[in-house]
Structure 1
Amino acid sequence: MKNMYVFDPHAVKRIIQRRLPVEAVVQIATFGVTVQESKKRCMKRGDVYGKPVHVVLMKPNTILTVYVADEWQSTITVQRSRRYFGALTSSTPPANRGYSITLGRRVPWVTSSTGGEDMACRHSDCIAKRNTWMHGTKHAMKRSDELRHLIFIGYKLDWSLHVEEREFQRAIPAWQSSQAFENGDCIHFTCIHNHGKTVAKWLWLGYAKVAPGVYRPLHLVIVSNGQNKRLTVATVYDPSQTSHMWDETYTVRLCWKHANT
């Protein structure tokens, strides 16, 4: 088959990491089942060596990324203990909830800094916030690797009391939050400067496998002040519950207003 596709460098990296045949990726891009589509993007699904593979395309013919949907091994494996009552700003260092690290492959989701503009909210407040917010989407994949490197060199991963409260309120089991962190990636990064202190903030998108072939998107907010070699998961939520705020991939913020405002 004649190759009529352009491969984004990110897609090339993922194909090499997952050792996927280029011909198989092209076959899926051409003949795969469309599972998600917008004006600018399309996601197609097929099988390679018996495993479900997703190919994300920017129309008309650019392959943006490729991932194996059932491949849930991660560069980080989270093991959560029952309870932690500290906070990032607490004067007492929070107790370690427990974590371990295993080297392996992670599942990426397409990280976009351009998609969703045609669906974006036109309210003046949202336009101003979106212009600022989009700056934080640049180099998001690099920020993913930086966070993983922090854990690799010894940073502790803590889960705040607030995130556990939100899990209960939003019907998100702890294992789903942990799994989403394990297979996720950064989609937005910012540094907040306050009273002479700098707090790094990652917005993380991952998926929890809730049934065969069914994956729940979750956003986690992870923060660190860089002073005590700790990362704290501050909160978690399901972006599909406020779908008007996000594009189809849940990577691009479209609106900052609640649906009833």
Structure 2
Amino acid sequence: MVCKDPEGCKKKSKEYSLAYACEIEIGGQEEFNKLKEVYATKGLSCLGFSKHAQQRMLERAISETELRTIIFDGDIIEYHQNEFGTTKMVVWGHIRISSKKYRPLHIILKKRANDSKYSVVTLYDPRTEAWRWDKTYTKRICFCVATK
């Protein structure tokens, strides 16, 4: 798979990075830190799981322990709150798979304005769509629909 519009995506990546950097700085990091605090005391009960996320955890062999590792040790790489108060964040981290090998993971979390807790929307290994990310998998660089 490859990017269909490298120049357009390069331009959008710069704009996107600036916008998300501001949103993360203004509210995202604080919101993520609150989630970590609640998660530290309540564990998985503070999170909801979409059916899609539950299925993806099974298909992609992602355990609850690995999810916990990403939440505690990971970083927020995207954050957005829309006009209806729905908050979405992408959390990035690595899980250890052997003595010197690590697997990157992204967790997409969402909370509607009237919800009391975040829901895990999906989890994935960003290497499956490596062309969409920089080499650290922390910055989106492709925004188009990819083709082979």
Q: TM-score range by the shorter chain?
A: 0.7 to 0.9
SS of the aligned residue for 1:179 comes to helix
* Cα distance, 1:166 vs structure 2: 1.6
Structure 1 runs (4+) greater than 6 angstroms displaced: none
Counterpart of 2:106 in structure 1 is: 219
Counterpart of 2:21 in structure 1 is: 137
Deviations 1:6-51 (A, max 9, x none): xxxxxxxxxxxxxxxxxxxxxxxxxxxxxxxxxxxxxxxxxxxxxx
Q: Aligned partners of 1:241 and 1:150: how far apart in 2?
A: 27
Deviations 1:207-250 (A, max 9, x none): 11111121111011111123232111111111112111111111
- Structure 1 residues 228, 151: CA separation in 2 closer, same or farther (over 3 Å shift)? farther
> Between the two proteins, what is the percent identity of the paired residues?
25
- Structure 1 residues 144, 259: CA separation in 2 closer, same or farther (over 3 Å shift)? same
* TM-score (structure 2 length as normaliser): 0.75
Counterpart of 1:146 in structure 2 is: 31
Q: Which runs of 5 or more structure 2 residues have no equivalent in the other structure?
A: none
Contact 1:151 1:157 in 2 (8 A): no
**Corresponding residue to 1:162 among 47, 52, 67:** 52
Q: Counterpart of 1:140 in structure 2: which amino acid?
A: I
- Structure 1 residues 260, 244: CA separation in 2 closer, same or farther (over 3 Å shift)? same
**Corresponding residue to 2:76 among 186, 189, 193:** 186
- Structure 1 residues 169, 259: CA separation in 2 closer, same or farther (over 3 Å shift)? farther
Is 1:122 the equivalent of 2:6? yes
* Cα distance, 1:179 vs structure 2: 1.9
Q: Taking CA–CA contacts closer than 8 Å with sequence separation of 6 or more, which of the two structures ends up with the larger relative contact order?
A: 2
Counterpart of 1:114 in structure 2 is: none
Contact 2:90 2:108 in 1 (8 A): yes
Structure showing greater Rg? 1
Contact 1:190 1:202 in 2 (8 A): yes
- Give the CA RMSD over aligned residues: 2.7
Q: Which runs of 5 or more structure 1 residues have no equivalent in the other structure?
A: 1-120
Contact 2:36 2:71 in 1 (8 A): no
Bigger drift between 176-185 and 240-249 goes to 176-185
Count residues with an aligned counterpart.
137
* Cα distance, 1:133 vs structure 2: 2.5
Counterpart of 1:175 in structure 2 is: 65
* TM-score (structure 1 length as normaliser): 0.46
Q: Aligned partners of 2:69 and 2:85: how far apart in 1?
A: 28
Deviations 1:108-162 (A, max 9, x none): xxxxxxxxxxxxx6243x3564355221133636623422224536892222221
* Cα distance, 1:252 vs structure 2: 0.9
Counterpart of 2:131 in structure 1 is: 244
Contact 1:182 1:206 in 2 (8 A): no
SS of the aligned residue for 2:81 comes to strand
